[in-house]
Amino acid sequence: MTNCDTANDGFHDECGVFGVLDHPEASNLTYLGLYAQQHRGQESAGIVSYDGDQFINRRGMGMVADIFQKKDIKRLSGRLAIGHVRYSTSGESGLRNCQPFSYEYAHGGIAMCHNGNIVNARVLRRELEENGSIFQSTSDTEVLIHLVAKSSSDTTEGRLKEAVSRLEGGFSFLVLTEDKLIGLRDRNGIRPLVLGQLDGVWVLASETCAFDLIGANYVRDVEPGEMVVIRKTGLESHKLLDNPSLRFCVFEYVYFSRPDSTLEGVNVYQARYGIGEQLADESPIDADMVIPVPDSGVPPAMGFAARSGIPLQMGLIRNHYVGRTFIEPRQSIRNFGVKLKLNANAAMIRGKRVILVDDSIVRGTTSRKIVEMVRAAGASEIHLRISSPPTRHSCFYGIDTPSDNELIANRMTQDEMCSAIGADSLAFVSRDGLYRAIKRPCSVHCDACFSGEYPVPIEGLERKNPPSLLRFNSKKR
């Protein structure tokens, strides 16, 4: 899947989080930590800091570098802060769903944000509503805050433990109180959360690339089912959930994470490169050149080219100056959506047999347009190689996939797909090959989107937001 199909096709990016405690420039570091994780969500961003007296909040629609001005960072004073970038996965869009949320309750102020999805959020919300709770957003985070507020435990840790034990799903939460920064991960560690240090101060992020930018050192991944509680006096680890068992999302390696991040001990770039090599071994083909579909197709294409000995060429050029919206002429341009972001370099391609390497096929529409564009640029043969197994199942743990029946791999055989997309041949890396390339056992991963093996029960769920959660439609300015 290429970046150019976010509007029409496929998986969307998830969310990214960042937190820091006891640093004089907490909000500035958070801003940079979010900036480095912008690829995890471009719809909205927010930061909450605590200045010793009050919680300060700034949220907005758009990109980190546009939302936060110098004066905002200055206003977000204090030595504690958490932040969030978001691409809506549950909860419709709009400012009122922007995280972090900050609330006041019996025990003071509390701010929260999360990455992932709570599969029993609807059930919990109904139960809360029946007991008199009111909801202003459609975000899962609001459900957790209500559960925390209702807990009778007399510590924040106890209240969180009690509340989180009610949640099912794949999620990583950051929580900020007047004197604590807390990070926690679901019992299967489906979504990432990493711990680092900067000049003796603890930082939490979704990906290690956030640490690189601010010069922090990676220390370790937060464990599945673990809650780390960070105070000025140091870090405590709590066992939050019973029976932890790592099932880390394998799609983080295939597509989501930045290639320079290392998650659960595996460098993302190296994983992708290795999958490309594996793919060359599994599905070799004679051709004149290997062309990556930028950007996530680049590392596997490099691995494929290196292993196969077929020259790598950048036959698809990405336009880096992509804005939000484009005005299409009435007299429509063929494959307009794809062309705005990619252009086939005909001078390179004309008359050549090309191997296109992409990361995934979701609905298939983007792949078809890219193949068409390369064909129009004069390629004599087009062989499509995909660096993940066929995507056959929806994700319920924080990745915005279409429902099962919209997934092309669910509706067609591989031959039918090849023909629908218009390629001369089509091959996916095998599930076994994928894990061989990553050099990690299948058992520590969630690959439900390929295998249908959901580590957390999802019965009764439909993927899309239920109508009852969509009673509101607000757009504040």
Within 77-136, the residues that bind its own copies by CB under 8 A are: 95-96, 98, 101-106, 108-110, 126, 129-130, 132-136
Q: Does 154 bind its own copies (CB under 8 A)?
A: no
Residues 219-238 that bind its own copies (CB under 8 A): none
Which CB sits closer to its own copies, 110 or 418? Answer: 110
Going from the C-alpha of 254 to that of each of 56, 216, 236, 244, 299, the distances in angstroms are 37, 25, 33, 24, 10
Going from the C-alpha of 3 to that of each of 162, 256, 326, 427, the distances in angstroms are 40, 11, 16, 21
Residues 429-468 that bind its own copies (CB under 8 A): none
368 Cβ contact partners less than 8 Å away, ≥ 6 residues apart:
420, 421, 422
Query: Which one of 7, 8, 165, 215 is in contact with its own copies (CB under 8 A)?
Result: 215
User: Cβ 384 to its own copies, closest distance in Å?
Assistant: 21
Residues 51-80 that bind its own copies (CB under 8 A): 54-61, 63-70, 73, 75
User: Cβ 175 to its own copies, closest distance in Å?
Assistant: 13
Q: Which stretch binds its own copies (CB under 8 A): 185-193, 247-255, 340-348, 431-439?
A: 340-348
Which CB sits closer to its own copies, 215 or 452? Answer: 215
Query: Which one of 233, 243, 413, 473 is in contact with its own copies (CB under 8 A)?
Result: 473
User: Cβ 107 to its own copies, closest distance in Å?
Assistant: 8
| Known catalytic residue at 15 | yes
Q: Give the Cα separation of 372 and 375 in Å (integer).
A: 5
In terms of Cβ atoms closer than 10 Å to its own Cβ (0-12, 13-18, 19+), residue 335 is middle
Which CB sits closer to its own copies, 12 or 393? Answer: 12
String of b and e for 408-436 (b: at least 16 CB within 10 Å)?
A: bbbebeeeebbebbbbbbbbbbebebbbb
Residue 202 is encoded by which pair of tokens? 């603890």
How far, in whole angstroms, is CA 266 from its chain's centroid?
Answer: 17
Compute how many residues bind its own copies; rule: CB under 8 A.
108
In terms of Cα–Cα distance, which of 358, 458, 367, 356 is closest to 412? 367
Which CB sits closer to its own copies, 443 or 473? Answer: 473
Measure CA of the first residue to CA of the last residue in the chain; give whole Å. Answer: 34
Q: Give the Cα separation of 384 and 2 in Å (integer).
A: 13
Which CB sits closer to its own copies, 271 or 426? Answer: 271
**Cβ atoms of residues 253 and 266 within 8 Å:** yes
Q: Which stretch binds its own copies (CB under 8 A): 27-35, 115-123, 245-253, 279-287?
A: 27-35
Strand segments (E) across 153-253: 169-176, 181-185, 194-198, 201-205, 217-221, 226-231, 234-239, 248-249
Which SS3 state, helix, strand or coil, does residue 249 take? Answer: strand
User: Cβ 13 to its own copies, closest distance in Å?
Assistant: 11
Residues 307-326 that bind its own copies (CB under 8 A): 311-314, 317, 319-326
Catalytic residue among 15, 113, 209, 449: 15
Query: Which one of 347, 413, 441, 459 is in contact with its own copies (CB under 8 A)?
Result: 347
Residues 185-204 that bind its own copies (CB under 8 A): none
Query: Which one of 22, 157, 282, 295 is in contact with its own copies (CB under 8 A)?
Result: 295
Which CB sits closer to its own copies, 174 or 228? Answer: 174
Residue 255 DSSP code: I
User: Cβ 44 to its own copies, closest distance in Å?
Assistant: 10
Q: Give the Cα separation of 426 and 417 in Å (integer).
A: 8
Q: Which stretch binds its own copies (CB under 8 A): 165-173, 181-189, 247-255, 332-340?
A: 332-340
Residues 28-47 that bind its own copies (CB under 8 A): 28-29, 31-32, 35-36, 38-39, 42
375 Cβ contact partners less than 8 Å away, ≥ 6 residues apart:
382, 422
Residues 237-266 that bind its own copies (CB under 8 A): 258-260, 262
User: Cβ 350 to its own copies, closest distance in Å?
Assistant: 10
Query: Which one of 6, 22, 150, 281 is in contact with its own copies (CB under 8 A)?
Result: 150
Residues with a catalytic annotation lie at 15
